[in-house]
Structure 1
């Protein structure tokens, strides 16, 4: 970990090496039971034409990116946890699953074009980052968007990242708010909403 700040997720898994496997099995069980685990993906799919390029940022075991791949999009998924990437490769073959740190995101250095039509960051990923890296992660999203691309980020309140600070960090990182919702099924955001889904465009 020298030279970089580990994410809160990495600290959790370092303290409990079984955590990642538990997380994978949790979503496998939910899927097997017929639970709706792809609400974020349906929103992104509705925003795009077929064959769009999508970055699943903090992809975990692949539920969102896997759905979008099956829907006909070109998907790259990035996660810092190799256990989760391995599960994504097993359960959702097709996307390009990449082990990587969102705070140091540089896909062109891996031969992957930074011209995504959409970036999706669901699953409370923003709250698992090291706080000192949040703005860097958002700046990475801005760098990896196509000129007309949009980034969609969702996370819950009371998880250590206040919504006003998030919006300020995003603005500093080169993103501008297009719209805000309180759920992935597009219910309006109000001041006391306990969840925030924000659609951003790049500042030109």
Structure 2
């Protein structure tokens, strides 16, 4: 069995054990100031009827999954960071929160059906993956979608994962790009956009 490749997030937290706590406090402070920290979740909610099944991939402290659960959806959140999962469980009871590596995603083996209506991967999660695992993550997303399900991924430019390469990797792993946006509030994507929100579906 090959040795597991740690994600960039794991490398960061290994070098700075206080990083996860800083990250949590950053978002709590933003929320306390009244800043919008769930814009991504509102877009996902608009894509679903009530009671949709949602996988929050790289869920962090549960800000999106918690909102979607409160909106009436069945939410499973997965993150590699146990500190963040602990905060999600504390702050947002209700969803199923799991510690796990997106590069080795196999939710049926953990008793969770792989038929999600939406998989959301926000917060630059794709850029925190080890580059060698990106295609495995995308293939895992495709494998966990319901036949008419959609994947929505958002991340910024100049973070080590070029947008054309991401779209090529998605296509090579069973995902078709249906819609490209430059923001979570539906502004169109152009060649000059510094952020990508890609809505993908299964290519088969």
Post-superposition offset of 1:122: 0.2
Equivalent pairs, count:
203
Moved over 6 A (4+): none
CA distance in 2, matches of 1:196, 1:48: 21
Match of 1:114 in 2: 114
Superposition CA RMSD, Å:
0.7
CA distance in 2, matches of 1:176, 1:156: 20
Match of 1:177 in 2: 177
In the alignment, structure 1 segments of 5+ residues that lack a partner are none
For residues 92-149 of structure 1, give each alpha carbon's deviation from its aligned partner in whole angstroms, at most 9, with x where no partner exists: 1110000000000000000000000000000000000000000000000000000000
Q: Secondary structure at the match of 2:98?
A: strand
Match of 1:96 in 2: 96
Q: Secondary structure at the match of 2:112?
A: coil
What are the residue-to-residue correspondences of 1:139-154 with 2, within 5 Å?
A: 139-154=139-154
CA distance in 2, matches of 1:48, 1:170: 22
Match of 2:194 in 1: 194
CA distance in 1, matches of 2:28, 2:113: 31
CA distance in 2, matches of 1:101, 1:144: 14
Post-superposition offset of 1:34: 1.0
Post-superposition offset of 1:70: 0.3
Match of 2:162 in 1: 162
In the alignment, structure 2 segments of 5+ residues that lack a partner are none
Structure 2 length as normaliser, TM-score? 0.99
1:31 aligns with 2:19: no
CA distance in 1, matches of 2:33, 2:88: 18
Match of 1:70 in 2: 70
Q: Secondary structure at the match of 1:76?
A: strand
Match of 2:12 in 1: 12
Structure 1 length as normaliser, TM-score? 0.99
CA distance in 1, matches of 2:32, 2:98: 25
